[in-house]
């Protein structure tokens, strides 16, 4: 099975107990040969069990655009959430909505579209009147099916990155390019072109990361077998993809207006945990009487950087690490499991140090550098789209000017210093970036000095085995 799966970069080294060994038993020449027996003490690491697409990575391939006619009452509202919010009638429409049974939702794609539709309805219902007129309870005809769909998917009952970005797209021309001009949202929220731009640019960042995600098994299996050349090539592919992610993120400036993002869009991405506008959380009627708390959407809900951190061995400080770990509960379970399983693999950084290859060390360090560059650029984006508009909003308030003519003045004050996921945003982002720097490896390390031209020192087999026992845990 391992051979049929298409793994072509595996090194078969008999002195590595954790690599595949192949044994062929041949009977007497006059008799037919026995079938080849393949023993594998550890199968090659593969993305197959984690529902990661070869073409789209963590993006849901070809999301459905419609549900069964039985669920049309959901879609009729979900596809008109923005208009209903602006007319202040979304809540009344939802209260009249029938309580539908979720049993007719069978496929994964049906469940994802249902979760997306119920999510945008929920965000609109809660935030229709802004931060000063929220609700304490989600009505049962929305809360009960939302909860059941969420339980089946392993997602929380709130709008997540997996909904708004990964499962909220279609091509205008099915045969056209996967680019800004040919993509559109399935459902949207207030914010016009900027909300489309925000979700679509984020989707393109995910797409740019696909070559990196596909290279992770090459790195892990190369480390398992001591194949420094394969690991080097895979790390070079990852660093190139990281650069592509940064380039995609730059499109945010062309497609999203900072004032619109800050003053209109952000509140509809906000949750009811660590949010002073809803300090008690939200009651899901028909599920339980006590309020529940869930964080709003956050870039930390993307599985991408979690995978890179675990692969490179980035260790975050306690508070930031706890937030990032909690955000994994907002990912599809299979993606969360991938991150966890990467963390359990032998240490890549330890392998690089032990191998003492200049090319390998450079490839590893380039990944660290590109990841830091991506995080630094994200900080710049946050500054332009949150920090600067927040300062403008405070200035307007201090002048006693709350004119609706200034879009930023509509923004909720509760989000001025935090992300929609509830983190203290700038300090969090800078801490995470700085911890990334900590895994850097100097190119003049002792191993390189011991081994001219980057060749591996001799008699290192036992050291290699010890290094392989190290693990990239968060």
Rounded mean pLDDT, 59-86: 98
**Model pLDDT, residue 447:** 42
Count Cβ neighbours within 10 Å for each residue of 332-361 and write b for 16 or more, e otherwise.
Answer: beebbebbeebbebbbbbbbbbbbbbbbbb
Which is nearest to 45 in space by CA: 305, 338, 332? 338
**Model pLDDT, residue 9:** 35
Rounded mean pLDDT, 214-223: 98
459 pLDDT more than 50: no
Rounded mean pLDDT, 304-318: 97
Q: What is the pLDDT of residues 168-195, one digit of tens each?
A: 999 999 999 999 999 999 999 999 999 9
**Model pLDDT, residue 253:** 96
Q: Can you tell me the distance from the alpha carbon of 241 to that of 211, in angstroms, rounded to the nearest whole number?
A: 6
141 pLDDT more than 70: yes
Rounded mean pLDDT, 27-52: 60
**Model pLDDT, residue 94:** 98
Question: Is pLDDT larger for residue 398 or for residue 208?
Answer: 208
Look up tokens 């790195």; give the residue. Answer: 219
Gyration radius of the chain over CA positions: 25
**Model pLDDT, residue 43:** 85
461 annotated as a binding-site residue: no
Q: Can you tell me the distance from the alpha carbon of 338 to that of 52, in angstroms, rounded to the nearest whole number?
A: 9
Task: Quote the percentage of the chain above a pLDDT of 90.
Answer: 73
Q: What is the pLDDT of residues 375-385, one digit of tens each?
A: 999 999 999 99
Rounded mean pLDDT, 92-110: 98
345 pLDDT more than 80: yes
**Model pLDDT, residue 85:** 98
The model's confidence at residue 392, banded by pLDDT at 50, 70 and 90, is confident
The model's confidence at residue 398, banded by pLDDT at 50, 70 and 90, is confident
How many H-runs (helices) and E-runs (strands) does the chain carry? 20, 6
pTM of the model: 0.84
**Model pLDDT, residue 203:** 98
Q: Can you tell me the distance from the alpha carbon of 114 to that of 126, in angstroms, rounded to the nearest whole number?
A: 18
How far is the CA of 342 from the CAs of 210, 323, 329, in angstroms? 16, 19, 17
**Model pLDDT, residue 461:** 35
Judged by average pLDDT, the poorest of 2-11, 79-88, 202-211 is 2-11
The model's confidence at residue 220, banded by pLDDT at 50, 70 and 90, is very high
**Model pLDDT, residue 12:** 31
454 pLDDT more than 70: no
Rounded mean pLDDT, 336-346: 98
458 pLDDT more than 60: no
Rounded mean pLDDT, 331-338: 98
Structure-block tokens of residue 238? 């990852």
29 pLDDT more than 60: no
Question: Is pLDDT larger for residue 400 or for residue 296?
Answer: 296
Q: What is the mean pLDDT of the chain?
A: 85
**Model pLDDT, residue 409:** 64
Structure-block tokens of residue 305? 């950087």
34 pLDDT more than 80: no
Q: Are strands 283-284 and 137-138 parallel, antiparallel or unpaired?
A: parallel
287 pLDDT more than 80: yes
Alpha-helix residue ranges (DSSP H) falling in 209-300 = 210-225, 228-249, 252-255, 258-260
Task: Using CA atoms of 371, 375, 377, 380 in order, give the dihedral in degrees to the nearest 10.
Answer: -170
165 pLDDT more than 90: yes
19 pLDDT more than 90: no
Task: Quote the percentage of the chain above a pLDDT of 70.
Answer: 80
Rounded mean pLDDT, 438-445: 81
Q: Can you tell me the distance from the alpha carbon of 20 to that of 8, in angstroms, rounded to the nearest whole number?
A: 12
Q: Where are the beta strands (DSSP E) in 111-241?
A: 137-138, 170-171, 183-184
- Contact between 81 and 121 under an 8 Å Cβ cutoff? The reply is yes
**Model pLDDT, residue 376:** 96
The model's confidence at residue 443, banded by pLDDT at 50, 70 and 90, is confident
- Contact between 176 and 182 under an 8 Å Cβ cutoff? The reply is yes
Q: What is the DSSP string of 400-456?
A: T---TTSGGGGS-GGGSSB-TTSSBHHHHHHHHHHHHHTT---TT-HHHHHSGGGPP
Rounded mean pLDDT, 409-421: 60
The model's confidence at residue 470, banded by pLDDT at 50, 70 and 90, is very low
């Amino acid at each position: 099975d391992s051979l049929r799966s298409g793994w072509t970069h595996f090194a078969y080294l008999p002195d590595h107990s954790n690599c595949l060994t192949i044994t062929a038993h041949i009977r007497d020449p006059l008799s037919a040969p026995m079938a080849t027996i393949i023993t594998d003490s550890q199968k090659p690491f593969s993305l197959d069990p984690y529902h990661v697409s070869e073409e789209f990575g963590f993006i849901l391939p070809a999301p459905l655009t419609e549900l069964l006619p039985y669920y049309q009452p959901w879609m009729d509202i979900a596809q008109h959430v923005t208009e209903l919010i602006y007319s202040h009638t979304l809540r009344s429409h939802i209260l009249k909505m029938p309580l539908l049974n979720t049993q007719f939702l069978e496929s994964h794609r049906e469940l994802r579209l249902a979760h997306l539709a119920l999510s945008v309805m929920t965000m609109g219902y809660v935030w229709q009147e802004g931060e000063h007129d929220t609700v304490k309870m989600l009505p049962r005809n929305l809360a009960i099916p939302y909860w059941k769909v969420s339980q089946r998917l392993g997602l929380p009952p709130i709008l997540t990155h997996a909904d708004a970005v990964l499962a909220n797209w279609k091509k205008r021309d099915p045969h056209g390019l996967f680019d800004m001009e040919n993509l559109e949202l399935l459902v949207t929220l207030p914010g016009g072109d900027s909300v489309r731009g925000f979700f679509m640019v984020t989707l393109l960042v995910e797409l740019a990361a696909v070559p990196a995600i596909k290279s992770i098994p090459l790195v892990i299996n190369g480390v398992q077998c001591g194949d420094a050349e394969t690991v080097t090539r895979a790390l070079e592919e990852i660093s190139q993809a990281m650069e592509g992610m940064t380039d995609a993120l730059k499109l945010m400036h062309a497609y999203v207006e900072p004032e619109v993002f800050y003053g209109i869009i952000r509140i509809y991405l906000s949750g009811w945990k660590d949010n002073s506008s809803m300090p008690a959380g939200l009651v899901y009627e028909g599920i339980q009487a006590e309020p529940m708390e869930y964080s709003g959407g956050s870039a930390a809900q993307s599985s991408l950087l979690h995978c890179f951190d675990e692969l490179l061995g980035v260790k975050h400080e306690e508070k930031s690490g706890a937030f990032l770990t909690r955000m994994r509960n907002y990912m599809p379970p299979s993606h969360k499991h991938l991150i966890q399983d990467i963390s359990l693999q032998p240490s890549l950084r330890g392998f690089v140090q032990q191998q003492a290859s200049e090319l390998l060390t450079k490839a590893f360090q380039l990944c660290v550098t590109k990841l830091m560059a991506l995080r630094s650029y994200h900080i710049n984006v946050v500054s332009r789209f949150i920090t600067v508009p927040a300062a403008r909003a405070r200035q307007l308030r201090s002048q006693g000017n709350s004119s609706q003519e200034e879009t930023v003045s509509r923004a909720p004050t509760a989000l001025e210093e935090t992300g929609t996921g509830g983190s203290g945003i700038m300090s969090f982002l800078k801490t995470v970036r700085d911890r990334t720097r900590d895994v850097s490896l100097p190119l003049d390390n002792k191993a390189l000095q011991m081994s001219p031209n980057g060749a591996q020192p001799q008699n290192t087999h036992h050291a290699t085995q010890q290094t392989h026992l190290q693990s990239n845990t968060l």
